[in-house]
Homo-oligomer: A and B are copies of this chain.
Amino acid sequence: MLSVGIIGASGYTGAELLRLLYNHPQARVDLITSRKYAGKPLGECFPSLGGWDLTFESHEDEAVLARTDVVFTALPHQTSMDVVPRLLERGKRVIDLSADFRFNDAAVYEAHYGPHACPELLAEAVYGLTEVRGAEVARARLVGNPGCYPTSVLLPLLPLLLEKAVCPEGLIADSKSGVSGAGREASLGTLYCEVNEGFKAYKVGGHRHTPEMEAQLSRTASAPVRLLFTPHLVPMDRGILSTIYAVPCEGVTAQRVAEIWREFYRDAAFVRVGKGDALASTAYVRGTNGCVLGAVDQAERGRIVLLSAIDNLVKGASGQAVQNMNRMMGWDEDLGLRAMPLFP
């Protein structure tokens, strides 16, 4: 049984890690930390998880950091980077859910998030988009778990760029996310009455997931790729749907795109390709680590439309983190993650 810790377990990604690991046959959660809830039982923070006998500790305590074999860090950006080096020094393998280890180029990180405390680790950190970087993940000591929007955008786009099926120019990703992506901090903007019965665009042209996506797209295309990314907020708890507009390369149709996806993801447990927009709903992956893809021709308008849906808390965060742990341990990538969506 692998002993696992979660540093910063009082947010939604922490809760989701707990939910997923509860049923994992090979991993056991032996440590959860939270500055705010240190010393308190899990149920005080999450009554839904109160049937599980776990108590928050403080990650300030060095003895705490010494425990467990694999650690998930689910701290805010700019905070993870203070803890992760201490974990690595103690020989832990770390999967970090913040943005702190998603960039290989410290300058890009610093332009969008602030100074980096341990830029020397960035070269080593593996970008944990499991289906694409699985081999690297398997060997990694430190995985930077991808952002939710990037996961939904990169899974459809990377194979198409690799196959030169779509042009790297003119990419547009119009993404829509449920509210849990905003985290569990009390703020006016995510109050029920501020969000419910409304749909809005936000941070248009300025969301920090743009550089993360552009870095990965560029790496795959072996050339600088620009992405126009527009995030929106949907009045629902979970789910991201990304509608991506791309210029297809000569002769590339939706059918060809589906073939490329099916081939690329033939061994991937969680990617499912549908016909046209038949699967283009977040409801079809709710609560699971799945990603559903679809493509629709719009050749007469010079574009192909790519559709991708994930659960932002699972494939977009905690589920992918567990999937990365599975790869790091040499297990099947879907160990403990096999599940059908909660519908309705």
**A-side interface residues toward B, CB under 8 Å?**
12, 15, 18-19, 22-23, 46-52, 170, 172, 174, 176, 178-180, 184, 186-188, 190-205, 226-228, 230, 232, 234-239, 241, 243, 245, 272, 274, 276-287, 290, 296-298, 300-303, 305, 307, 309, 313, 338-344
Contacts of A340 in B (CB 8 A): 18-19, 22-23, 48-49, 51-52
* Extra 10 A-B pairs, beta carbons < 8 Å, given A23-B340, A190-B193, A199-B241: A15-B343, A47-B284, A176-B176, A176-B199, A184-B188, A186-B186, A187-B191, A192-B235, A198-B286, A200-B280
Q: Choose among B187, B227, B241, B301 the residue that contacts A201 (Cβ–Cβ < 8 A).
A: B241
Q: List 14 A-B contacts (CB under 8 A).
A: A22-B339, A47-B284, A48-B284, A49-B341, A49-B343, A176-B176, A186-B186, A196-B196, A196-B344, A201-B277, A201-B280, A204-B305, A245-B245, A287-B342
- Copies of the chain in the assembly: 4
- CB-nearest residue of chain B to A22: B340
- CB-nearest residue of chain B to A195: B192
- CB-nearest residue of chain B to A206: B296
Contacts of A176 in B (CB 8 A): 176, 199, 232
With A22-B339, A199-B239, A301-B226 in contact, is A344–B280 under 8 Å at CB? Answer: no
**Interchain residue pairs A-B with the least CB separation, the first 10:** A198-B283, A200-B281, A193-B344, A48-B343, A48-B341, A201-B280, A174-B174, A228-B301, A204-B277, A19-B340
Minimum distance in angstroms from A238 CB to a CB of chain B? 7
A77 to B281, CA, bound (A): 28
Q: Choose among B179, B197, B303 the residue that contacts A236 (Cβ–Cβ < 8 A).
A: B197
Q: Are A302 and B200 closer than 8 Å at their CB atoms?
A: no
Contacts of A282 in B (CB 8 A): 198-200
Contacts of A46 in B (CB 8 A): 343
Q: Are B197 and A237 closer than 8 Å at their CB atoms?
A: yes
Q: Are A170 and B22 closer than 8 Å at their CB atoms?
A: no
A201 to B239, CA, bound (A): 13
A236 to B232, CA, bound (A): 14
Contacts of A338 in B (CB 8 A): 22-23
With A241-B200, A342-B19 in contact, is A228–B193 under 8 Å at CB? Answer: no
Minimum distance in angstroms from A6 CB to a CB of chain B? 14
- CB-nearest residue of chain B to A283: B198
- CB-nearest residue of chain B to A342: B287
With A200-B281, A298-B205 in contact, is A344–B305 under 8 Å at CB? Answer: no
Contacts of A279 in B (CB 8 A): 47, 50
Q: Choose among B191, B285, B297, B344 the residue that contacts A186 (Cβ–Cβ < 8 A).
A: B191
Q: Are B200 and A180 closer than 8 Å at their CB atoms?
A: no
Q: Are B237 and A204 closer than 8 Å at their CB atoms?
A: no
Q: Are B23 and A339 closer than 8 Å at their CB atoms?
A: yes
A186 to B19, CA, bound (A): 27
